[in-house]
Chains A and B, each alone.
Chain A
């Protein structure tokens, strides 16, 4: 991992909503093949940080560099081109309810990449197989459980062959018995070498899958460390306090 090339670089990122400064000064780098888990108390700005990476939220100042391009300086057209290379999975799945599962997956490859219907379909079925839902291709989102929907959402993002996958609390809206199936898919993905940034409250996943844990609080990344080190010996009082509470529960 030492001489891996950087995929995303963040420099002095700041984000304000009105007078509320959510991100104060973030500096970070994600390397190729790395799995980063972002953890921290709610309101720490984890989701906002993730959304600033693909500019769903516009940073107030600072730089986000992806594939050697400064995103905040790009036009909307250029930004669309880069967004397709950053897959994103949302807490609320956000499947398109008016389309079947396979149509959900085919849409972007066909409309953005110009794939033919049959190529997009073949790819979609392969990805559905990968997330264990090959039999649901023609079902509609509302007929699926939350866990199944989230797995479709992952397949949908993968269909664009992204360079990096961003996960925004992917299991927080799920019933407990469905959390496992989604985490399993994410773990497989990590093992295949996908670069991933995951905002999560699943400490087990962070411990077992992450290459690095970033602890966020009060608008800053307070600690970056390998998971074993972070969970065994948190350095900052903020992190010690947080872990004490989480492990107690």
Chain B
């Protein structure tokens, strides 16, 4: 038992450090906030301006395969480039779920958010908005077969309209279209897919998005929304109090408006990326899944990487927790029990967001590392229970016989209990690892480029909803089936011994 104790010590020290760090960092933060507005100075110091966006919203922002590398492009990125250029710094684009963007801003993961975001009064309470850089009209996407049936949102009484979760469209529909069934989803792609498969009868988006979809997807068309727009102006969001950044951005935006850069330069540029200057037919050909194989390969790579590391640390920590729970030290037992119960009683999604954003307030943990930490910590709790119940399943007579022969507690565990327990533990552990691989897909929420994330990107890029999902499913199945087969081979070997 000496080694586990050493590890435990290290672990406790790590926890201590984690709890101490916040205080020092918080103190730092307090100071900067008192003497407001170091923001611009700080951005210039590090020489880069970090822009957060959710790249599934063409033509505002989307991912494009350029020379074999995936890059976030679009009108908003052009706006971001302009703002960064005017500040004299480099633009860094960081991808996140739309819902996570403002949290990312508050927790300092990004310096600004440009994501086709409307400056609603509610949002303005928690962030500082620039002047609007673009005004859009609201449109509805409908199926071409319904042409003439619907004219604007009023024609949809009793029917359903889809909108992106948390978007301005969703809010408007909720307020104005009282007799319409509102369905929200995270991604516009899913909404369009829902439209084609009759899950919804229309999708509420702004003009630029609507036209991009209509151009690239068969069987859908654009009609006016007829919605009263309170604020259809998209703005750049900054951290509350970052007035120096807002001021600098406003200057850039004024120039953008004055020269009408959006319509003259940025939108055409984005359109070029969307179609790569090809005809509709050619676009379709380049949208074949084979052209996107590098995306899927990268996704499989990330998923395997995250899973492998998380399995390793999850197993290590899980084994420590199991022995803490089985041991005689009351304090260690309570800690381990509390940990296991707490982790198993809260969703992985919340744990992930807590590690990324919550701890992110204190120490800046990159998304990939946050994902690995959250998945490992989560898996450890389940592994601990698998190991503990495996050991408990061995009859107490085995321990008594071994101890009566003079074998120590450790020797008994090592030579008598564990070899027998492993036969129970191994299959259950295999199941746990398979579910870890599947559940690791949640890291896509914070922008880790795993398989799910890549399938989203391919969906957004190709305007094809189902095919990327099918391929993703098959790839996940190959990985998990491969793993469980491997575990079975080892299990069979173990039983032969």
Beyond A56-B400, A94-B400, A96-B398, whether A157 also contacts B420 by CB under 8 A is: no
How far does the alpha carbon of A94 sit from the alpha carbon of B407 in the complex, in Å? 15
- Chain B residues positioned under 8 Å from A242 (CB to CB): none
A160 to B406, CA, bound (A): 9
A56 with B403: in contact, given A94-B397, A111-B411 (CB under 8 Å)?
A: yes
Measured in the bound complex, the distance between the Cα atoms of B497 and A107 in whole Å is 17
Is there contact, CB below 8 Å, between A80 and B408? yes
Q: Tell me if B411 and A96 are in contact (CB < 8 A).
A: no
| Structural contact, A108 and B406, CB atoms closer than 8 A | yes
Segment at the interface with B among A36-44, A82-90, A233-241: A82-90
| B166 interface residue per 8 A CB criterion | no
1/0 contact string of A71-101 vs chain B (CB within 8 Å): 0000011001101111110101011111000
Contact of B397 among A87, A92, A111, A157 (CB under 8 A): A92
Give the residues in chain B near A80, CB-CB below 8 Å: 403, 406-408
Q: Using Cβ atoms and an 8 Å threshold, which residues of chain A touch B400?
A: 56, 88, 90, 94
The reply to whether A160 and B401 contact each other, CB–CB distance below 8 Å, is no
A96 contacts B409, C-beta separation under 8 Å: no
**In the docked arrangement, what's the CA distance between A157 and B404, Å?**
8
In whole angstroms, what is the CA distance A29 to B408 when docked? Answer: 27
Secondary structure dominating the interface of B: helix
- CB of A108 within 8 A of CB of B405, answer yes
Interface string of A24-68 (1 = CB under 8 A from B): 000000000000000000000000000000101000000000000
B407 touches A108 (CB 8 A): yes
Q: Is B415 an interface residue (CB 8 A)?
A: yes
Question: What residues of chain B lie closer than 8 Å to A96, measured between beta carbons?
Answer: 398, 401-402, 416, 420
Is A156 in the interface zone, CB < 8 Å from B?
A: yes
Q: Is A112 an interface residue (CB 8 A)?
A: yes
Chain B contacts of A88 at CB under 8 A?
A: 400-401, 404
Q: B residues within 8 A CB of A76?
A: 408-409
B397 with A83: CB separation less than 8 A: no
Residue of B400, B405, B409, B419 ringed by the most chain A CB atoms within 10 A: B405
Q: Are A54 and B404 in contact (CB under 8 A)?
A: yes
A-B contact list, 12 entries, CB within 8 Å: A54-B404, A56-B400, A56-B403, A85-B406, A90-B397, A94-B398, A94-B401, A95-B401, A108-B405, A108-B406, A112-B411, A157-B405
Extra 16 A-B pairs, beta carbons < 8 Å, given A83-B406, A84-B406, A87-B405: A77-B408, A80-B406, A80-B407, A83-B404, A84-B405, A85-B406, A90-B397, A92-B397, A94-B400, A96-B402, A97-B420, A107-B405, A107-B415, A108-B402, A153-B401, A156-B405
Which A-B residue pairs are the 5 nearest by beta carbons?
A84-B406, A94-B401, A108-B405, A88-B404, A94-B397
